[in-house]
Structure 1
């Protein structure tokens, strides 16, 4: 019997991976969409916070723990790439609406969160604003490749 990860991933013929096997191509996509007016430090901070939530909602995106040649253990990470995009405030708002309509696992980061310093205050800041009025600076989403591609319509890959 194949695991969820094995049934979700396929290989691309004619290309070799790190181990000499064909690389894995996933049927799903993990994507982060950032507002294009963020400072560099904000982009990094928002991306880190956003992706941290996806593994809890979609545990299948987490791979196995790592270990180096000396046997030193390391924490597991996502088992597939995280693609980072950018777009205008309008693009982000539209993508957020499309994400909600598809009911995909998602995380949001609003501009209010730059002024808070802990998880409790972050959650309170988001909870205080109706969905349509969130001042989004980033969203993360995981789902079928086609659906995520449609959600990201109008966005461009982060440079």
Structure 2
């Protein structure tokens, strides 16, 4: 940890990374990224900064307080990333192709619950953890263009 013990000040000891499948439409990539980033924020509220305000005093919602790296990956790379995260005990958020066909959170959870982990049709995943561990989980993914 750094001198201030503030995880939102550089240099960052941890990393937030989102990986989306390389064959998705642009709107799907954006949707999946937004959902997965919200999972990281929900699981790690200490990574959310303070609310924003402009010079006029208009208040804005807080955001994640550190960079979010967005990657693209093939379907097999996402499957491998899920397996590595699970094996390392690194919490992971997932988004499956079936979730595009649902309309609410309970249906999304049911779609994931209906399929064994290794068989999930992943279109994205997100992890937060030590930089080295996150890099190893996402081995084979490349930064999104």
Q: Smaller-chain TM-score range?
A: over 0.9
CA distance in structure 1 between the aligned counterparts of 2:3 and 2:61, rounded to whole angstroms: 18
1:9-158 aligned at under 5 Å gives the runs: 9=7, 24-158=10-144
Gaps of 5+ in 1: 12-23
CA distance in structure 1 between the aligned counterparts of 2:49 and 2:132, rounded to whole angstroms: 22
Q: 1:143 to 1:8 in 2, by over 3 A?
A: farther
Gaps of 5+ in 2: none
Q: 1:4 to 1:66 in 2, by over 3 A?
A: farther
CA RMSD for the aligned pairs?
Answer: 2.0
TM-score scaled by length of structure 1 = 0.85
Report how far residue 67 of structure 1 moved. 0.8
Deviations 1:121-152 (A, max 9, x none): 11110111111110000001100101001111
User: 1:8·1:27 contact (CA, 8 Å) conserved in 2?
Assistant: no
Q: 1:144 to 1:78 in 2, by over 3 A?
A: same
TM-score scaled by length of structure 2 = 0.93
SS of match in other structure, 1:129? coil
Q: 1:128 to 1:5 in 2, by over 3 A?
A: farther
Structure (1 or 2) with the larger CA radius of gyration: 1
Query: Moved runs in structure 1, 4+ residues, more than 4 A?
Result: 8-11
